[in-house]
Chain A
């Protein structure tokens, strides 16, 4: 068993396109210890989100291997990967991905209910209180601002107490002021809960708050630094 919570070796992703095979990620390796935080930066189309999807087990690489919490993702089928996600992974998305038909409380309760937790409601309410939305429990996503929606999404991501939190452009849809608040919240909660954070961002300030940073260009790793 590796001491790393997350490691990738020689990852490549190639997809067919009208012009032939298109290489999105090319021979990329990285390792991340538990409690670490990693920022993946790069221009649009550099392969950041593809890498995030592969690391989180949402997709399979064309070649190479990924080890997440001791599981070799490339050797697992989709349902087995789903089980790994359920036990170890949380997500925060650029477009929040809240369910329109559920209110704030119900959105946060969802992963807890999936686990069959009897205290789902209480836990969810506490988390929402923690992110400053204690008074907005019964509000639907359309009644919340972008920043508030992202706070609900963060509460939901931490609800299942994940080992690794993947965040895809968590402040991408927000103004800089709100974005700053959201990133504060994200890092605070991450610290409190001891999770490993992998985030994809364009925002250099946000990226600099992580322990490590890798930079992608045309699917290749062009630089990495410790912050």
Chain B
């Protein structure tokens, strides 16, 4: 064509596409893309919405989405900046004070809150100790709420008066739950909650008093992020910002893993989409070789032919992606509707982003996986109209695989935002594909020898595979990738759920006992044994502060806001132990032996050691009870902070701290309904601080339940999408097989022989795909466990079932797909081509 304007080419492409759509020609590609984008979008929506639901639950641990804490009041500018962004604001102030009554005095941890507190979660209280709790607003002006153990310690009842500093307040209710209580409970004394407006009148807070101020914020995540950024440069040395994720190690870990899992599931959906697109685009191109040659005969240039098909594929991709996003959006709505009763709390809507991301993912996959076969259409020689054996010059392998890898890498990076992980997975995947592809080719070739002995259906079926070993290896690899994606998501689900179950067994300790004095240690342990079957040992605790490392003051060594800084700004709970605690593991150095050392040994938790840059052999100086004590680092330990057991940053060699004033600490599990025994324990040992973490545990369990549910449904989505893509993908390889089946029948083969030949062929294809999937799954799971999830890896023998699943699934799909060749007359099939 001398001059074929782009608009005319576009119109022509559109017209052709509509005609082909009407003729059912593009159904498979459309369907494959639609399924992939729908799965990707649905998972995207599901994760985004559940994630914000979980964040909301996690926010309860802060009673806010964002918390600014400091030992001085926040500046008016800092508050103004938050209010200007439309964020909700509440304030609280915490300090220790002696509570005085007619019957005695008790040190308490007082918290003054304003009416807006809490911004996330609810305050719960009861009319009397251990009575039914209710949700209500905080204490009114002139009122105070206190925990039951304060009532017990001072023999109080509701309605009594207490003095907080200069102010007398009426004790109106028993505080049973405050959302942000989790925190640093080792130092907690009974909580008293008062109204912030009463704070000045107490006269307790004076310049120089040890007070903690909290500014709580909640609102839209964009505004929060904006506020956080604006706040950063204005932060004073003593100010710290916390988000929901930072508030609790267990929650942070669970959310992080769940998020990675959901992202990986999206990635699995993308991989499925890639395989589907690659299979169907190859067919799309192959079926247009003749048409392309013809158009070239009619005078279309190479570029014009390529543009025409690019426009067609682009339009097809865009419409399939739009429909897929719509289906995905509807699917997640349906899912949340079905799960309405099961999901705790509100689930915020997720906006338009997951849909856009789903569409973009589909289009990138289309570009990466479909462009190489499409490019072949531009290279079809026009001479093909006379000689059908003329095929386009194959594209460079670099282009074909490079484009696919680039697309996959881009999407993976977007989902994980983790370049090393992306490269590890891509590299691992590529290596697996090359190795397994080579093995497969060898295996297929060696099958040829076995063929001579086989029965007719096997010879016919396997002959089909052996005739084009490269194509068979390609198909096997494609189906292998589909099965791999499904198996990997199933495998990770099992592993994550069991990790969480281990982390929070039903009898995880739900009570902590602190400040047990040596004189009461034995008696307390005895009484504890009677009420709790699973008590942790009693650990000695001596408060002490790390002051110097190798003689250099520690304040000069640590960076601001690091864990090291926080650990050196407060007293640490120091302990000693002859044996390594159960959940700890030595990562460097050795545990102490009997030999006496000049400087006693200390074992340090590995993360803290990393932050403080400690090495084995370093000398640490601690200020303990006003005296300096030196210790030499002899080992580093990993600690499971999630186990609800007493854990320690520093464990000393026995005989080092015994001369210092010591108290004991333990945790135990108290079955529900044994509150009375707890009261008795509290009355028998009034000096001991008992702290319940039931609320924390149940919050954690509720979040994990939500994550579990998310994972179950995402798995179901991936499996459904996987099977759909498998069926659609198989359709793209059937043209030749349908024809061959019809030919066999025309030559007089019984239907049974044709069916058996198909069975043999597809079962073999499925089984080899299953073997590839099992091997690939093991390799990739190893990489993921190591680099993404920090889980211990061990082989998974159950993956051996994959070849069977592959044989059954591909076999069934193949028989179903080729039923036309068996059920219609051979003449019809052969005539239709």
Contacts and interface: CB of A to CB of B under 8 A. Distances in A.
Interface stretch (A30-38, A78-86, A212-220): A78-86
A69 to B, nearest CB: 13
Interface in B285-324: 290-291, 294-303
Interface string B382-396: 110111100000000
Contacts of B831: 142
Given A85-B299, A87-B299, A59 B383 contact: yes
Give the size range of B's interface with the partner. Answer: 20 to 34
B4 interface: yes
B26 to A, nearest CB: 9
Contacts of B450: none
A226 interface: no
Contacts of B299: 82-87, 89, 114
A93 B385 contact: yes
A119 interface: no
B102 interface: no
Interface in B366-398: 381-383, 385-388
B2 to A, nearest CB: 6
Most chain A C-beta atoms within 10 Å of own C-beta, residue among B303, B386, B833: B386
Given A106-B19, A115-B1, A99 B297 contact: no
B385 A97 contact: yes
B383 A113 contact: no
B302 A79 contact: yes
A53 B383 contact: yes
B222 interface: no
Majority SS at the chain B contact face: helix
B627 interface: no
A43 B203 CA distance: 116
Interface string B408-435: 0000000000000000000000000000
By size class, the interface of chain A is 35 or more
B23 A101 contact: yes
Contact of A86 (B1, B5, B303): B1
Nearest to A54: B383
Task: Specify which of A79, A84, A142, A168 lies most central, judged by the most chain B CB atoms within 10 Å of its CB.
Answer: A79
A19 interface: no
Interface string A145-160: 0000000000000001
Nearest to B832: A142
B43 to A, nearest CB: 34
Interface in B255-311: 290-291, 294-303
Interface in A58-108: 58-59, 78-79, 82-87, 89, 91, 93, 95, 97, 99-103, 106
A56 B303 CA distance: 20
Given A91-B297, A101-B25, A83 B2 contact: yes
A42 interface: no
Contact of A78 (B302, B386, B832): B302
B20 interface: yes
B468 to A, nearest CB: 21
B298 A160 contact: yes
A85 B291 contact: no
Interface in B1-56: 1-2, 4-5, 8, 12, 15-16, 19-20, 23, 25
A111 interface: yes
Which 5 pairs between the two chains have the least Cβ-Cβ distance?
A86-B299, A79-B301, A101-B23, A101-B20, A101-B25
6 contacts: A58-B297, A82-B299, A100-B833, A103-B19, A113-B12, A114-B300
Interface of B: 1-2, 4-5, 8, 12, 15-16, 19-20, 23, 25, 290-291, 294-303, 381-383, 385-388, 831-833
